[in-house]
Amino acid sequence: MTKFRWLVLVAVLAMTAAACGTPAATTTTAAGESTTTATTADGETTTTGEQMESTGYEHLDRALAGEFDGTTVEVWAQWLPESSEASNFTFTLEPFTEATGITVNFQPTPDYETALQVAVDGGNAPDLGQIAQPGKMHQYAEAGSLVNLSEWFNTDKLSTELVPVFYELGTFNDSLYGVYYKTDVKSIVWYPIQAFADAGYAVPTTWDELIALSDQIVADGTNPWCISIESQDADGWVATDWMEDILLRTAPPEVFSQWTAHEIPFNHPEVLEAAGLMSQIWFTPDYAYGGNTYINQTWIGETQDPMFAEGGPQCWMQKQAAWIGGFWGANRDAIADEPTLPAAEWPNVPGEDVGFFYFPPIEEEFGKPVLGGADMFVMFNDRDEVRALLEWLATPEGAAGWIERGGFLSPNTTVPIDSYVYPNNELAVMVSEATTLGFDASDLMPAAVGNGTFWSGMVDWVAANGEGTEAIFQSIEDSWPS
C-alpha cells in the first residue's frame, strides 16, 4: 500500500483549481442532461448543455430511465438528526428521488459507531453507510461485510475524477470498497468578528501571537478557548485532531506518516513534544472555558455556546471544521425549526458574525500545513438501485445541493471551484496554498487505536488535566495491534 504518498503531494493534486484555471468538465444532472463547464485562469466560466445518452455509470443510467422506480435504498450516516449536515444531505438527495423514483430512506444515526457495528453484526446493516475512518472500512472489508465495488463500478471514471489520494484511500487489498463523498479542513479557528474588533483583538498569524492573544483575553477577564470533546460514542476525537494538527507544525511530514503507520512508536518524542504544546492551550489555567471538566463533559455541538453569551463572549476561539456553523448557539434551534433555512439567514451567520483564521504555524521550517479528513460511503447490500445511488453520489450532482448551502468540499475534481460558497471557497484556496496536507491520522490508524484507545486515551488525559502524559501515551502504544 502507498496510501501515505499523498501527504506531501496532495496539496498540489487536490485543489489547484483554486489558484488557476480548471480544464473543461462535463457533468450530468439527475435529469440526464449534461453541462460542460470551463473556467479560465481569470475566473471566467462558460457553460453549454445538451442531452447525453450516458452518465458513464451503468446503474445510474438505468435508474434515470425509470428501471428501478418504486424501490427503496436505506442510508445511514453519523450526521445527527436536526443538524445542518443531516438537512443538507436530505436536501441533496431530493433530485435523485425525483429523477429516478427511488426512495432514499436516510437515517441520521446517534451513537453511530456503535449502532452501525451492532447492525452489521446482527445482519441488519443499511444498504449504504457513511464512514470517516479508512481503518474502520478495512475492518468491515476484511470481515466480508462490504461489497467489493471493483466488480461493477466504473473505476476508470471514478479514479479519473477523484483527487487521486481519495480513490486510493477507498481501496483495500487493491479493490475498491469506499467512494469518497465529502472532505473537511480542520486547521481553522472560529472567532466572533465584531466582538473581536470591539475588544481590539488581532487575528494571530504565529503560535507566539496565539499564546499572547490567549494571555491577553485571560487578563481581560474571560477565557480565550471554547473546547470540548464529548461526542456520544466517539468522545475524544476532537483532541486527536488537535494533536495531529500540532504535530504537522512541529515535525517533518515523514514523521507524521511514520507515526500514522506505526513505523515509529505512538509515544515517539516528537509526539510527546506536540502533546506538550497542546497542553499549553488545553490546560493552562483559565485558557479553556470551564477547564477540563467542561472539556470532557460538554457535547461538541454546544462547545461554543459561551461564545454567544448574552453579555458578550465568555470564550473567543474554537478550533473546528466548517460543518460546526450549524451548531453555533441559536443556529441549532433555528435549523431544528426550519431545516431548510439557508446559512445566510441563521442567527449567527458564517462570514458575517463568525469568521475563521488559519491555525497558525509553529516551526517556520514546516511551512503552512493543513489537516483534513473525509467521509466515504460503503455498500453493505448489493442491489441495482443501491448501486445507482452510490454512483450518483460519486458525481458532482450528488453533492450539488450541499455545496449550494455551504459547509461542503468535494473530492471530485470536476466540481467547478466557483460553485463553492463561504467558507469553503476560502478553504479551497487554503488547501491549494498548503505546504503539506495531512489526512486525519486517527482515521488512518487501525480502528482499535484510531477510534479506540487514541480517543479514550485523550479522554483520560483531559480527566488528568494533562498529567501523566507519558504513561497515557505508552498505554496507547501498548494497545497497537500486533
Strand pairing category for 369-379 and 436-439: parallel
Q: For residues 392 and 59, what is the distance between their CA atoms, to the nearest angstrom?
A: 9
Q: How far is 228 from 217, CA to CA, in rounded Å?
A: 19
Q: What are phi and psi of 238, to 5 degrees?
A: -60, -40
pLDDT the model gives residue 83: 82
Q: Which residue has the cell 500540532?
A: 246
Task: Please state which architecture CATH assigns to domain 188-368+442-478.
Answer: 3-Layer(aba) Sandwich (3.40)
Same fold? 5-16+50-185+372-438, 188-368+442-478: yes
Q: How deeply is 174 buried, as exposed, middle or buried, from its count of CB atoms within 10 A (0-12, 13-18, 19+)?
A: exposed
Beta bridge partners of 17: none
Question: What is the block-wise mean pLDDT of the chain (482 residues), using blocks of 10 residues?
Answer: 34 32 39 39 37 84 97 94 87 96 94 93 97 93 97 97 91 97 95 98 98 98 98 92 98 95 97 98 98 97 95 97 90 87 90 96 95 96 98 96 88 89 88 88 92 96 97 98 90
Superfamily for 5-16+50-185+372-438? Periplasmic binding protein-like II (3.40.190.10)
Would you give the DSSP letter of residue 132? S
Rg (CA), the chain: 22
Q: What is the pLDDT of residue 216?
A: 98
Q: What are 314-324's pLDDT values in tens digits?
A: 999 999 998 89
The closest alpha carbon to 326, from 103, 96, 117, 108, belongs to: 108
Q: What is the pTM of this model?
A: 0.81
Quick: pLDDT tens for 90-122: 999 999 999 999 999 999 988 898 999 999 999
382 contacts: CB under 8 Å, gap ≥ 6:
147
Q: Where are the domains of the chain?
A: 5-16+50-185+372-438, 188-368+442-478
